[in-house]
Amino acid sequence: MNVPSLYLEGQLLVAMPSMPDPRFERSVIYVCAHSEEGAMGIVVNKPLESLSFSELLEQLEIETSHVDERIRVHFGGPVEAARGFVLHSADYVHDATMIVDDEFALTATVDVLKALAEGEGPRDSLLALGYAGWAPGQLDEEIQNNGWLTVPADEEIVFRLQNDSKWHSAVARLGVDISNLSTDVGHA
């Protein structure tokens, strides 16, 4: 008998409207890892206005013959904010790639940035600086305290929708009207 996992790897966390931390207000986070040791995810709907992809490549002294200017740099979370992560489709796998599931993978090397710039990277990708991290049991506690909703991950939401519509789309997947959700613990 298969016992369902209590871990949320490969799921989306959707911030409740009452989220007290302004860094995560209306955030959608793809959970890359979740275990008894803690959790790690990438915010997928908060682009950084202060840094372009070409500026990032220049800062890292990465020379390429072409730069895809459509690539946006996102706020991935407050932990290690200077470190880059690429959440991407699982069609791109290198030695340092962490495969999350059949659809999603995560790579944090300069090679993936070069591949993205040259248009030779994964089919779908999201470039982020930093990540969201939780100590053991912390994410579970935040969910129990009505900080987050969980939604099955979807490539459309993560990679293709406009950033300002990802939160509403993720909530809509639950089939509930967000305005009807209670902010009181233990009530829906």
| Bridge partners, 2 (sequence order) | none
Q: What is the pLDDT of residue 5?
A: 55
CATH number at residue 53: 3.40.1740.10
Tokens of 117: 């710039």
Report if residue 186 sits inside a domain. no
pTM as predicted: 0.90
Mean pLDDT split into 10-residue runs, the chain, 188 residues: 66 94 95 96 96 91 82 96 95 93 95 89 96 96 93 96 96 80 50
Q: Is residue 172 part of a domain?
A: yes
Q: How many distinct structural domains can be found in the chain? A: 1
- Residue 66 within a domain: yes
Query: Per the domain annotation, does 48 fall within a domain?
Result: yes
- 161 inside domain: yes
Tens of pLDDT along 43-90? 999 999 999 999 999 998 888 877 877 899 999 999 999 999 999 999
Res 2: pLDDT:
40
Tell me which residue range forms the domain holding 134. 11-179
**Can you read off the two tokens belonging to residue 158?**
């993560």
